[in-house]
Amino acid sequence: MTMYSAKINWRQKEKEMVDNLNQRVFSADPLIKKYVSEMSHIDYYNNSYVVELKYRNMPSTQYGDCFIQQDKYQWLRVFNSDPLIKKYVSEMSHIDYYNNSYVVELKYRNMPSTQYGDCFIQQDKYQWLMESGARSGKVPGYIAAWSDGVYCAWNLKDLTDKGFDFDWQIIPMNRTTAFKNNSKVDKKVSKLRLENGKILFKLP
């Protein structure tokens, strides 16, 4: 069996894939890169499709198959009719994504959902989402994922309209969670419980 282990320039291969597809398949409606994140779930879209692209550095005859990760399948399935678009490219963006119906903040918690059963939301992010939702006529949402594969969403407008007690508290927390600045700063936050949201799906 021939092994294909040569170093690949994946960005170049991605560009070649898109160019080939747009020339041969999507010439009338070219694919557009949806997200700028390297860990993007939905790579490309056009007026008809949302797609993930995969390059395999081997002949198609070697195995005759291609892996797809379940989280990518689930993400494509949940938002396939109205995919999320990355709103801002700033690392400190308040509103991460939007589609025709929602403006949402995405949060990953590196722990099982059963450990605490909640997720923090900062008051300034809540206010920004609510204001943006009011301006755009879209639903302000907060989506969290945990290491055990649980994805949960909260409709912030619905919670607010129903008189949900956010019980805002000032807590010393890391300045950032996704980056290397771990200095402490006071943040005004609320805990959103799983039972106050909607479980979108759970990966095995």
Instruction: Encode pLDDT of 79-115 as tens digits.
Output: 666 666 665 444 444 556 777 788 888 888 889 999 9
Query: What domains are defined for the chain?
Result: 10-78 (no CATH), 85-202 (3.40.1350)
Instruction: Encode pLDDT of 123-142 as tens digits.
Output: 999 998 999 899 889 899 99
161 neighbors 171 (Cβ within 8 angstroms) = no
68 neighbors 77 (Cβ within 8 angstroms) = no
Burial bucket for residue 204 (CB in 10 Å: 0-12, 13-18, 19+): exposed
46 neighbors 54 (Cβ within 8 angstroms) = no
Mean pLDDT of 155-182: 84
* Per-residue pLDDT at 204 exceeds 80: no
Mean pLDDT across the chain: 77
- The per-residue pLDDT for 90 is 44
191: pLDDT confidence band, cut at 50, 70 and 90?
very high
Nearest to 72 by CA among 52, 55, 54, 96: 52
87 neighbors 133 (Cβ within 8 angstroms) = no
| The overall pTM is greater than 0.75 | no
Mean pLDDT of 55-76: 78
Residue with the bigger pLDDT between 177 and 45: it is 45
